[in-house]
Amino acid sequence: MFMDYHHLKSRLFAPVHQQYAERDAMLYALSLGLGRDPLDAASLPFTYEGTEGGLRALPTLAVVLGYPGFWAREPDTGIDWVRLLHGEQRVRWHQPLPASGSVVGVSRITRLTDKGPDKGAVLVTERRLESQAGELLATLEQVTFLRGNGGYSQRAGQASDEPLRALQPTPEGQAPDWCYEQAIRPEAALLYRLMGDYNPLHADPAAARKAGFERPILHGLASYGLVAWAVVRRCAGGDASRLKALDIRFAAPVYPGETLITEIWRVPSYPEKFQLRARVAERGVVALSHGYAEIL
């Protein structure tokens, strides 16, 4: 399948205008498991509109807003979308998201890097999430591994960008400063898909088995939201508005019903910076790795 570097880099994305209500912000928080404990006061600002100070949106709600859709499946891209993997997610928040409002997502392809014929290619898509007034709310970078498109730059006239700055692995042989354990609801994927990702891989056992999984898996961005909440609870005293950056690599699938343990390390000499990873307790596998977070 032929993928043209210049065609992709010049691809135009129509701005995505999206309106969301407080109900959407609450449903998003509930899909991540907030409210599981009815006595957990830290969850109430995100799940109950009657809380003191009013309802607030989790910062990671940004990942489901202004999304341009699964455009890589369109024939003109030349992308082998069946072998595509969402490899990393990186977000910078410039100001807190309102609990409801109208936003605009403006996307562009910033990097396309050829790793070689047997190693695939790496695509980086940037999405700027703005208010209708043009205020920048968040900048999102999605790193996609194109396993079926390696070696494309060997064709005449093709190019390859310098790779994105690599994420750093978490410390080896050093105990984390904090751990946060989250039991994932058995129906978590069915709830999270209501955010707009209706891939049957997350709902239909037959589709999951066809893709090589024993049962439906949790959305990668749902596990990203779980890790973000762990950082907010352990490093920001429950104040989600203090989360300013979160980068993560998706290393292995997570299944609904499992337990996710987020391990967090302080970065020496930088009290506002942290490294992290998340592992599945039942299988002992690291599901999210090379994590980095910043707290205001």
Residues 247-263: tens digit of each pLDDT: 999 999 999 999 999 99
First-to-last alpha carbon distance for the chain, in angstroms, is 45
Question: Helices in the chain by DSSP H: which ranges?
Answer: 5-9, 22-31, 44-47, 188-192, 205-210, 220-235
Q: Write the single-letter amino acid at 175.
A: A
Distance in angstroms (rounded) separating the CA atoms of residues 100 and 197 = 20
Which residue of the set 79, 184, 217, 295 is catalytic? 217
Please report the pLDDT score of residue 34 as a whole number.
97
Which residue of the set 66, 220, 225, 291 is catalytic? 220
Domain ranges across the chain: 5-154, 178-295
Which sign does the torsion angle of CA 194, 200, 204, 209 carry?
negative
Residue 217 annotated as catalytic: yes
CB contact burial 154-172 (16+ within 10 A = b; e otherwise): eeeebebbeeeeebeebee
212 in Cβ contact with 82 (< 8 Å): no
Q: Write the single-letter amino acid at 47.
A: T
Q: Per CATH, is 5-154 categorized as 3.10.129.10?
A: yes
Residue 202 annotated as catalytic: yes
Tokens of 93: 């928040």
Mean pLDDT (the chain, rounded): 96
264 in Cβ contact with 232 (< 8 Å): no
Residue 220 annotated as catalytic: yes
pLDDT digits (tens, 9 = 90+) for 178-231: 999 999 999 999 999 999 999 899 999 999 998 889 999 999 999 999 999 999
Please report the pLDDT score of residue 2 as a whole number.
87
Q: Per CATH, is 178-295 categorized as 3.10.129.10?
A: yes
Q: With 90 as the cut, is the pLDDT of residue 92 above it?
A: yes
Domains 5-154 and 178-295 share a fold: yes
Distance of CA 131 to the CA centre of its chain: 20
Which residue of the set 197, 204, 239, 261 is catalytic? 197
pLDDT digits (tens, 9 = 90+) for 128-180: 999 999 999 999 999 999 999 999 999 999 999 999 999 999 999 999 999 99
Which residue of the set 105, 150, 202, 248 is catalytic? 202
Please report the pLDDT score of residue 1 as a whole number.
66
